[in-house]
Amino acid sequence: MKIDEIIGRTKDSLEARTVYAEPVERDGITVIAAATIAGGAGGGTGRDEKGKEGESGGFGLTAKPAGAYVIDHGELHWRPAVNVNRLIAVAGSVAVAALLVVVRVLRPRQKD
């Protein structure tokens, strides 16, 4: 695949239609899901010891739920997505850090 093709595919992948889902309407409420998307591309050319030239490259794309726009009776609301795993990890880290601080503060100082 040529470098120009990779860049073109990356550009095509990072569009608004990739970030926002098609609206879903039920019982007068419309929901439009949204995602956070990041991507990147890289490539290069080179020559081997026999003088043959070549080029290669690739690109990656990652998406995470960000939330949804909810339109209810003409009012627009943003409902953020909650990553429960991340919340648990952060809460655990804070608890361990607090425990270490408490142990450090309450431990009697040793005399030299």
Which positions ≥6 away from 67 have C-beta within 8 Å?
Answer: 33, 34, 78, 79, 80, 81
Give the domain ranges of the chain: 3-81
pLDDT band for position 108 (cuts 50, 70, 90)? confident
Is the pLDDT at 86 greater than 90, yes or no? no
Residue type for 23, please? P
Q: What is the per-residue pLDDT across 10-53, written as a single tens digit (0 to 9) for each? A: 666 666 667 888 999 999 999 999 998 887 777 788 888 888 88
